[in-house]
Amino acid sequence: MHKTDMPNKNRFFLAGVVGWPISHSFSPLMHNYWIKQNKCIGLYLPLAVQPSGLATALSVLKPLGFSGCNVTIPHKQMALKIVDEVDETANTIGAISCITVKKNGSLLGTNNDWYGFVANLKYEYPGWRADTGPAVVIGAGGASRAVCYGLMREGVKEIRLVNRTFSSADLLASQLGTSIKPLPWETRHKALEGVTIVVNTTSQGMIGQPALNISLDHLPKNAIAADIIYTPLETPFLTMAKKRGNPTLNGIGMLLYQGIPAWKQWFNIETTVSLELRKIMESSLITG
């Protein structure tokens, strides 16, 4: 592990993830692995907080000794209005995924989801180039905003955004940039023509949810089919893409890589996604 500073043995490293519900989260497994690997004394906790109690919960992070926390569903947008400071990234995306407790006790909100998606994409497909063609992003929620932001930062010139409710896609496009082209839901099949990557950011295909309703007939055989879902590791959408020979990308890497900037922000430690950690996470997901 590469560290910016050697961990202080007298310091207790404390962080967590705030959500409702939270028992399903695999973040504690990942972060507690890093605590052990970096020879830190500390703990990463799942914090079940109802929306009505979010402001109170965040206000006690400093008194309880937390360096920060991740923020997950359904708090990502509400947290924007509670923290003391929001960086440009989170403000642009319109959601917070990570909060850092500053030395003066104030709370800084940022969003690392975009980084998690892009870093995982580059790790799995180092030859992928943002300037080789359009992308399709399916869905217009908070995760879609992060993915679109990441693709735009990488230099994708055209993002075709399809969503069941066109007005939501249109609003996202108007807020994030002119490179995003909102399209009606019924055009989603043909929208795949000539793209280099298609990303599902909806919950369709997640365990307990119906499969994503899309035909891949127009998708180029060399285009990457990506899904931010990691339960299951292979969604019906990815299975369909794999059968026709497309390269695929599941959501577990996005979860892993978004943790790297969080550790830098909280603890000033540069950690890494090892093959061992990936295997531990995948095995836990499979066994439930």
Q: What is the pLDDT of residues 55-101, one digit of tens each?
A: 999 999 999 999 999 999 899 999 999 999 999 999 999 999 999 99
Structure tokens at 6: 């050697």
The tokens 């795949």 sit on which residue? 192
Sequence ranges of the domains in the chain? 12-112+258-287, 114-251
Are the CB atoms for 68 and 101 separated by under 8 Å? Answer: yes
* Residue 52, pLDDT above cutoff 60: yes
Considering the chain, what percentage of its residues have pLDDT values greater than 90? 91
Confidence of residue 173 (pLDDT cuts 50, 70, 90): very high
CA atoms of 143 and 222, how far apart (whole Å) = 24
**What pLDDT does 286 receive?**
80
Distance CA 79, CA 76 (A): 6
Q: Are 20 and 280 in contact (CB under 8 A)?
A: no
Q: What would the DSSP string read from start to end of 91-105? A: HHHT--SEEEE-TTS
Q: What is the pLDDT at residue 9?
A: 64
Which one of the listed residues 3, 9, 62, 76 is annotated catalytic?
Answer: 76
Q: Give the separation between CA 120 and CA 133, rounded to whole angstroms.
A: 19
Average pLDDT score over residue span 231-253: 97
190 in active site:
no
Q: DSSP label at 74? A: T
Which CATH architecture group holds 114-251? 3-Layer(aba) Sandwich (3.40)
Q: Do domains 12-112+258-287 and 114-251 have the same CATH topology?
A: yes
CA dist., res. 89 & res. 112, Å (int)? 9
**Amino acid at site 21:** P
φ, ψ of residue 29 to 5 degrees: the values are -60, -45
Query: What phi, psi does 19 have (nearest 5°)?
Result: -165, 175
Per-residue confidence (pLDDT) for residue 3, from 0 to 100: 47
User: What amino acid is encoded at 270 in this protein?
Assistant: E
Q: Output DSSP code: residue 20.
A: S
pLDDT at 287: 73
Give the pLDDT band (50/70/90) at residue 24. confident
Angle, alpha carbons 232-97-13 (nearest 5°) = 100
What's the average model confidence in pLDDT over 111-127?
97
CATH number of 12-112+258-287: 3.40.50.10860
Q: Which pLDDT score, from 0 to 100, does residue 81 have?
A: 95
- For the chain, the average pLDDT equals 94
pLDDT for 59 equals: 97
**Residue 197 to residue 246: CA distance in whole angstroms:** 10
Q: What SS3 state is found at 89? A: helix
Instruction: State pLDDT tens for residues 1-14.
Output: 444 455 556 789 99
Instruction: Let me know: does 17 contact 47? Beta carbons within 8 Å.
Output: yes
Q: What is the DSSP letter of 203?
A: S
38: which 2 tokens?
């970096």
